[in-house]
Amino acid sequence: MTTRRTFLFRLIPAAGLAVAAGSSFAAGPEKASETDPTAAALGYKADASKVDKAKFPKYAAGQACSSCTLYQGKAGEAWGPCPALANKLVAAKGWCSAYAKKG
Number of residues assigned to the chain: 103
Distance in Å, CB of 1 to ligand SF4, minimum: 53
Asked if 54 and 86 count as a contact pair (C-beta separation under 8 A), the reply is no
> If binding is defined by CB under 6 A, does position 99 make contact with ligand SF4?
yes
Q: CA–CA separation, 58 vs 60, rounded Å? A: 6
CB atoms within 10 A of CB 9: 10
> If binding is defined by CB under 6 A, does position 65 make contact with ligand SF4?
yes
Binding-site size, ligand SF4 (CB under 6 A): 14
Q: Which is nearer to ligand SF4, 29 or 94 (CB)?
A: 94
> If binding is defined by CB under 6 A, does position 89 make contact with ligand SF4?
no
Q: What are phi and psi of 95, to 5 degrees?
A: -165, 150
Using CB under 6 A, which of 84, 86, 89, 102 touches ligand SF4?
A: 84
Dihedral sign for Cα atoms in the order 9, 14, 20, 22: negative
Contact set with ligand SF4 (CB under 6 A): 44, 65, 68, 70-71, 82, 84-85, 90, 94-96, 98-99
